[in-house]
Chain A
Amino acid sequence: MADAALTTSSSSTARQAQRNRALSLNRLTPYMFMAPAVFIMAIALLYPLGYMVWGSFRDWDPSQTIGEAEFVGLKNYITLWGDPNFRESLWVTLKFAFFVVTFEMVIGVGLALLLDRNIRGMSALRTMFILPMMIAPVVVGLMWRYMYHPTVGTFNRTLDGLGLPTVDWLGQHALMSVIIADIWQWTPFIFILALAALQSLPRSALEAARIDGATAWQQIWYIKLPLMLPVLIVTGLLRLIDAFKVLEVILVMTEGGPGLSTEILALRISRTATEFRELGVAAAMSNYLLLLLLALTMGMFAFTRWQEARAARVRMAAEEDS
């Protein structure tokens, strides 16, 4: 009697185990499908990254292979931290990124709000607005360099023609001029994304707001912008990351000058590697930039996560109250 009970229970555990195995196999299936892609991604992404990190610990001249270079530990990083030129370059980059993204967001979103209507010719106008984005950065740099030319450039000739004092665009005001050029080129990016976000807003909610008595401004402020916010955050983040890495336009326009006034980090990295022939230092600098961007991205994600959590907490508390 007891024996029989034992055998049935053991056979049932065997069946259980079998089922568990089948289940876990089932659960593994998606990972098996993902494996090849993950493998390729890992090699394509991580190998160069690891190479750069590895190189940043060495005193590495372009004529050497990485194996021949002397291992110096964190020396490159520490030297950089004390290097006033690097700090200046970092400061310029931060200023550049801040102004560029702020202005581009304000102008881009503003334009989108302005042009989000169905008037004849609007689609042609919209296409025109996004043209600057399609021009190769080198061409943009050259174009603006000629327009900024102190004597024959468009701006100064116009100012002169109007009897106004000319401006030393790429000299005294180099950073501002570079910022203006970048705004010209990249505002369209914000513009089209903001426009897409606007056009996918629930139309009837806006109609409800009109009936509720919201003026055009109030619709923008209370309905449109809050609903666009997730898209705007991502857009701004993308632009910010891009702004930290901008190179060609500034290279063509000012080559970082005069002095160090427009030498953004990407430019300094490229010069360190090619002109100063210090690959290790350049790699260390890239890693600083990478860490900065990483921190920014994580900060942004953490912020949205925190916001969601707070909303959930408020909701929970409210439910407990009632």
Chain B
Amino acid sequence: MPSIHLDNLVKRYGEVEVLHGIELEMADNEFTVLVGPSGCGKSTTLRMIAGLETVSDREIWVGGEPVSHLEPKERDLAMVFQDYALYPHMNVAQNISFALRLQRRPKPEIDQKVREVADMVGLTEFLHRKPGALSGGQRQRVAMARALAKDSGIFLFDEPLSNLDAKLRGQMRAELALMSQRVEKNMIYVTHDQIEAMTLADRIVVMHGGYIQQQGSPEDLFKRPVNKFVAGFLGSPPMNFLDGEIEERDGRAFVVGDGFALALEGEAAASAKGHSDRQVTLGIRPSDLRHDADAPPEAALSLDVMVSEYIGSQSVLLCECGGAKVMVEMNSENRVGLGQTLNFAVSGRGIHLFDRKSEAAIH
């Protein structure tokens, strides 16, 4: 299936520039997820690829050809909309077969295709119903089936699961992951839900304010975020941030803040020493804090427990360190009293440092 290249795409609405140069390569059969907070320009990017929005500047390349002057129907793509965008006056079968009927394919072939995709998404019983008589999850499946029936090389999704309840969303997410392995297509998926992004993506593109912040594999982004925004956006519960300063004591590098002084090891120590500005933000994921009463102070945070949220086998503790709030994940077996002060070991790998002013990661 064709590769897609967004060459520094710019989008303006009148005077307002909402996308400031989106540079992106999407290879064959890749599942790319655009993720970011509301209003960051994900939908706009997707709609420009689809041809529903004009390109203000630069070009979109599909399979080596410029496409920004083409109509949506000339771009060989299928799209699933957030509100599903079904044709209300057509039944499920007619919805699914609309594109094929427009192409004047022979009737047996159309029927065959409709049955095939309806079977794939589990809609066979509902082929003669109008969308109005379907539940939200079923409508979502119709939208998916309609896109699948087209057999186009590029598959676009704009927050297709956001109107479903939590349970159904989880279920559809799993089905989608399964489907993406079965069909060989270039998929671009927009969401503001970082869990969807992490579970589905071959590659995540984190956007913020009309800029791409970082792109890479989910693991890459989770382990090596390039800045504080990406670090805080991915992962749940989110990364904790503490203000600190780099200090050298006896030749070792420390990050020192209100209520903690952590020693830096290996690479982190080297890059911290090399960094010009002493003012940093320390980032630690809740999962990188491990309860350990005996951990030495230069490798531990001492936290006052304020709130404990029970969420099953794990509990999330909201604690305080100096003036800052810190979240910790802990096995629910250990009952923790509120107001207690506990010692949490920090592994060397769990420490992320960001420049306080530019918010860029210090590597």
Contacts and interface: CB of A to CB of B under 8 A. Distances in A.
Contact of B98 (A204, A207, A212, A322): A212
Contact of B73 (A212, A222, A314): A212
B87 interface: yes
A213 B102 contact: yes
B89 A213 contact: no
A210 interface: yes
Nearest to A230: B89
A229 to B, nearest CB: 8
A209 B87 contact: yes
A268 B244 CA distance: 96
A237 interface: no
A117 to B, nearest CB: 14
A196 interface: no
A209 B81 contact: no
B338 interface: no
Interface string B206-219: 00000000000000
Given A218-B102, A318-B128, A204 B73 contact: no
Q: How many B residues are at the interface, by size bracket? A: 20 to 34
Among A205, A218, A226, A227: residue with most chain B CB under 10 A = A205
B83 interface: yes
A208 interface: yes
A205 B86 contact: yes
Given A211-B77, A212-B73, A204 B85 contact: yes
A315 B88 contact: no
B270 to A, nearest CB: 52
Contacts of A293: none
Given A210-B72, A212-B73, A318-B128, A205 B99 contact: no
Contacts of B128: 314-315, 318-319
Nearest to B74: A213
A180 interface: no
Contacts of B50: 211
Nearest to B133: A315
Nearest to A206: B85
Contact of A212 (B99, B124, B127, B129): B99
Interface SS of A by simple majority: helix
Given A208-B81, A211-B73, A214-B73, A227 B89 contact: yes
Among A202, A204, A211, A222: residue with most chain B CB under 10 A = A211
Contacts of B89: 226-227
A204 B99 contact: no
Contact of B85 (A208, A215, A227, A322): A208
Nearest to A201: B88
A66 interface: no
Contact of A214 (B52, B82, B85, B102): B102
Nearest to A225: B89
Contact of B127 (A209, A213, A318): A318
Contacts of B150: 212
A232 interface: no
A214 B73 CA distance: 7
Interface string B113-137: 0000000000011011110010000
A209 B98 contact: yes
B85 A205 contact: yes
B201 interface: no
Interface string A301-319: 0000000000100110011
A318 B125 CA distance: 9
B85 A210 contact: no
Interface in A193-247: 202, 204-205, 207-215, 218, 222-223, 226-227
B226 interface: no
B78 interface: yes
A293 B120 CA distance: 52
B267 interface: no
A84 B357 CA distance: 96
Given A226-B89, A227-B88, A322-B124, A204 B129 contact: no
B52 A210 contact: yes
A227 B84 CA distance: 17
A202 B72 contact: no
Contacts of B88: 202, 205, 227
A213 B78 contact: no
12 contacts: A204-B85, A208-B86, A208-B146, A210-B51, A210-B72, A212-B99, A212-B102, A213-B103, A214-B73, A215-B73, A218-B102, A222-B98
Given A204-B85, A210-B71, A318-B127, 17 more contacts: A202-B88, A207-B72, A207-B81, A208-B86, A211-B51, A211-B52, A211-B77, A212-B146, A214-B102, A222-B98, A226-B89, A227-B89, A315-B130, A318-B128, A319-B128, A319-B129, A322-B124
